[in-house]
Amino acid sequence: MASRPPVHRARKRFGQNFLRDPGIISRIVRAIGPRPGDRLVEIGPGQGALTEPLIEAAGGELEVIELDRDLIPGLRVQFFDHPGFVVHEGDALKFDFRALRGEGEPLRVVGNLPYNISTPLIGHLLEAGNAIADMHFMLQKEVVERLAAGPGGPDWGRLSVMAQYRCRVDALFVVPPEAFVPRPKVDSAIVRLTPHAELPYPATDETLLFKVVRQAFGQRRKTLRNNLKGCIDADALVALGIEPSRRPQTLTIEEFVRIANHLAAAEVMS
């Protein structure tokens, strides 16, 4: 049985909001579905509210990444009777998830992510490619809505394209502020990201693809003709079957890839 962690005051600079609601914790663990033998990695375990049921479900094997060094001694005391519990002190934004996987099974990454780093951290994790089997995160509700959005809606943007190019995204359920201490000022939500075994629409040059997406969404109210000026002209868009007067939020991932692959081919031939 895990020991009770020492009292720790949440730090605003780390964006800490500690999950306390047992019902929500159980629901999250059920959604993750950890099993013995999984390579589970928890980002930001905090005071171990989610860590305890995860490590029990996973047969005592769990690795965690924690930036707040004041929390680490408490975690080690709390889970001292689990030899398979490993703490990595450091910043998840700089962590090498490919190296952590090594030659083993792909990682299953979970975490209650601080709102202030959630978007760049997801970008960093997506770059880890086949090192990751799936990800389950608690995020600000509006970030989950953007991740899971579809083309044509107000939430469809750079983050949606970046995530869905590489992953299937499932928005699971909303978590109210009262589930945390201290209470955040916004609703949270649980999201599942499952990397595609094979990309549905592979880009010849992914760096170029995301450059096109970034430029296209630079000014959402403007048309592709204006936003992609200097990148691709209107005649080329028409030749690709894409109307230049459309706005970026109406394009599908396949259409963004079509533009990027055209530019990659043109560059090779020039």
The answer to the question of whether 19 is labelled as a binding residue is yes
The answer to the question of whether 116 is labelled as a binding residue is no
The answer to the question of whether 66 is labelled as a binding residue is yes
> Quick one: 25 exposed, middle or buried, by C-beta within 10 A (0-12, 13-18, 19+)?
middle
> Quick one: 154 exposed, middle or buried, by C-beta within 10 A (0-12, 13-18, 19+)?
exposed
The answer to the question of whether 226 is labelled as a binding residue is no
136 neighbors 60 (Cβ within 8 angstroms) = no
Structural Rg of the chain based on CA atoms: 21
- Say how many C-beta atoms besides its own lie within 10 A of residue 248's C-beta: 25
The answer to the question of whether 267 is labelled as a binding residue is no
Q: Tell me how far the alpha carbon of residue 255 is from its chain's centroid.
A: 23
SS3 146: helix
The annotation places the binding site at 17, 19, 44, 66, 91, 112
The annotation places the binding site for S-adenosyl-L-methionine at 17, 19, 44, 66, 91, 112
